Amino acid sequence: MSASLTAEQRRRDIAKLESSIWYSDRYADDEYEYRHVILPKGLVKYLPKDRLAEESEWRSLGVRQSPGWFHYERHAPEPHILLFKRPKNAF
């Protein structure tokens, strides 16, 4: 499959699925604010497999959050669930 076909399929998948992204309520400890985001399983193939996603990568999949969040954990059995945190005093 050519890169242009792959890029076009990615665009179609994101356009079709981004409205199904689910955002948890925020929760916190003394230091951080947390939330998790559940991606439709059809978008998981566009996540990096060997590392956490950079902000530009998760935003390019249609994840929309205010500034300061970073992907901090990967739970192998459920790669479609992204765990985010940001320092409480950041914003």
Residue 85 and residue 30 in contact, taking contact as beta carbons nearer than 8 Å? no
Q: Which amino acid type is present at position 7?
A: A
Q: How far apart are CA 51 and CA 71, in angstroms?
A: 10
Q: How confident is the model at residue 59 (pLDDT cuts 50, 70, 90)?
A: very high
Q: Scanning the structure block, which residue is given the tokens 């935003």?
A: 59
Q: Which amino acid type is present at position 21?
A: I
Quote the domain boundaries for residue 39.
3-87
pLDDT digits (tens, 9 = 90+) for 60-89: 999 999 999 999 998 889 999 999 999 998
Q: Domain tally for the chain? A: 1
pLDDT mean over 1-29: 90
We report the CATH number of the domain holding residue 66 as 3.30.170.10
Entry pTM: 0.88
The one-character DSSP state at 79 is: T
Q: Is residue 32 scored above 90 in pLDDT?
A: yes
In Å, the largest CA–CA distance within the chain is 48
